[in-house]
Amino acid sequence: MHTAHLFEPFTLRSISLRNRIGVSPMCQYSCEEGLVADWHLVHLGSRAVGGAGLVMAEATAVSAEGRISPSDTGIWKDEHVGAWRRVAQFISAQGAVPAIQLAHAGWKASTAAPWLGGKAVDPQNGGWRSIGVGDTAFTDGYPIPRQATSEDIDRICREWRDAAGRAIEAGFQMIEIHAAHGYLLHSFLSPLSNRRVDEYGGSFENRTRLPLRVAKELRDILPTKMPLAVRLSCSDWMEGGWAIEDSVRLSSQLRDLGVDLIDCSSGGASPIAKIPVGPGYQTAFAEAIRRGSRIATAAVGMITSPIQAETILRSGQADLVFLAREMLRDPYWPARAARELGVSTAGMAPVQYGRAW
């Protein structure tokens, strides 16, 4: 039997992952009133059974207004805690670390699930008035938001904090702040979307103010032993947009605030950005931030083969690899990767399935 970086444990604060493989957050658009039920138990539970070290629940709204669609998961009220606890407990019982991505959709809120067209949902059909960095729509067919006032921003910070408190109560062992893909926090960061003239717009300091405030609010209430991650869109892939140099600078500030991991995604600020999607297309961002900001990073984006994942880790480009669509195709990817890399699958597949591995 060989050893592989992919299957070395990794520790963030007091939380130890059994390997370097994470299930990337993936919206399922399968809830009512934000309440998770059997679908999420089976969906996330299967991936924990499949051997991942970290299983991250999807973009979960910190307020009803911050949902992408009416069927998003939520954690804005105490009723959500018990529903999530059942999922988090099952993930833990399978030996994976349960994590949750907290989110506010901003100007991309009140839209339909992708398979229903993804465009604006009117209030008559279960939608709501969205709130944005400004008062323009993301693109044609999206809702026109109300621009967030400074009182709204204070309230939104409290909502993030309360949501994180509920996530802790539900048994999640790590929280990720969604500051990517054009949603609220990224829309403040990007000069393409942020045209504000107050203390939240203009300079780098002003555009980063809200995401830094949210990170600080969360770090203040999280137990010292609990890691905090931030997902960034490391580049807008557009002239005049947010760039990797900005992400390196912000990641250093996040590190100083007590953030432990940067999850390195990209895009989402502009519908016309040309993104060179291909195998490992975002991995260089994870490397730039890991080296430039001296913080742990996760690489994500078209990582599909075990040898590709192993190379990313072995060459020091990232500390973790997150997989999304490949995990939908194959929840047992970690156990399969162990076999392909000649590593023992002990502790990865459940005893009930031992005869298969």
Ligand X SMILES: Cc1cc2nc3c(=O)[nH]c(=O)nc-3n(C[C@H](O)[C@H](O)[C@H](O)COP(=O)(O)O)c2cc1C
Return the active site residues: 183
Using CB under 6 A as the criterion, what x/- string covers residues 141-170 for binding ligand X? ------------------------------
Q: Does 15 bind ligand X (CB under 6 A)?
A: no
Cβ proximity to ligand X: between 64 and 206 the closer is 64
Q: Exposure string (b/e) for 156-172, b if CB count within 10 Å is 16 or more?
A: bbebbbbbbbbbbbbbb
Segment lying near ligand X (by CB under 6 A), choices 82-90, 176-184, 210-218, 337-345:
176-184
Integer CA distances (angstroms), 169 to 14, 75, 102, 201, 226, in order: 17, 11, 14, 34, 13
Of 248, 323, 337, 348, the residue at the interface with ligand X (CB under 6 A) is 323
Cβ proximity to ligand X: between 291 and 325 the closer is 325
Of 8, 169, 287, 326, the residue at the interface with ligand X (CB under 6 A) is 326
Of 19, 22, 24, 130, the residue at the interface with ligand X (CB under 6 A) is 24
Q: Is 295 left (phi over 0), alpha (psi -120 to 50) or beta?
A: beta
Residue of this chain nearest to ligand X (CB atom): 324
Question: Which two tokens mark 154?
Answer: 């204070």
In the complex, least distance from residue 28 CB atom to ligand X, rounded to whole angstroms: 7
In the complex, least distance from residue 159 CB atom to ligand X, rounded to whole angstroms: 18
CA nearest neighbour of 281 among 256, 296, 297, 264: 264
One-letter amino acid at 346 equals A
Contact criterion met (CB below 8 Å) for 135 and 118: no
Cβ proximity to ligand X: between 24 and 345 the closer is 24
User: Exposed, middle or buried, 9 (CB in 10 Å: 0-12/13-18/19+)?
Assistant: exposed
Of 12, 31, 59, 232, the residue at the interface with ligand X (CB under 6 A) is 59
Of 27, 55, 179, 318, the residue at the interface with ligand X (CB under 6 A) is 27
Cβ proximity to ligand X: between 180 and 341 the closer is 180
Q: Mind giving me the DSSP string for 16-78?
A: EESSSEEEPP------BTTB--HHHHHHHHHHHHTT-SEEEEEEEESSGGG-SSTT--B-SST
Segment lying near ligand X (by CB under 6 A), choices 216-224, 252-260, 319-327, 349-357:
319-327
Question: Which two tokens mark 148?
Answer: 């967030």
Cβ proximity to ligand X: between 26 and 243 the closer is 26
Using CB under 6 A as the criterion, what x/- string covers residues 243-282 for binding ligand X? ----------------------x-----------------
* Partners of residue 179 on adjacent β-strands: 232
Cβ proximity to ligand X: between 114 and 240 the closer is 114
The CA angle 159-190-117, to the nearest 5 degrees, is: 75
Q: Does 111 bind ligand X (CB under 6 A)?
A: no
CA gyration radius, the chain:
19
Question: What is the C-alpha to C-alpha distance for residues 137 and 182, in angstroms, rounded to an integer?
Answer: 12
Q: Does 312 bind ligand X (CB under 6 A)?
A: no
Question: What is the C-alpha to C-alpha distance for residues 328 and 207, in angstroms, rounded to an integer?
Answer: 35
Using CB under 6 A as the criterion, what x/- string covers residues 204-243 for binding ligand X? ---------------------------x------------
Question: What is the C-alpha to C-alpha distance for residues 294 and 279, in angstroms, rounded to an integer?
Answer: 25
**Residues near ligand X (CB under 6 A), total:** 20
Q: Does 101 bind ligand X (CB under 6 A)?
A: yes
Q: Does 300 bind ligand X (CB under 6 A)?
A: yes
Contact criterion met (CB below 8 Å) for 202 and 209: no
The CA angle 101-104-108, to the nearest 5 degrees, is: 120
In the complex, least distance from residue 313 CB atom to ligand X, rounded to whole angstroms: 16
Positions in the binding site for ligand X (CB under 6 A) = 24-27, 58-59, 101, 178, 180-181, 231, 265, 300-303, 323-326
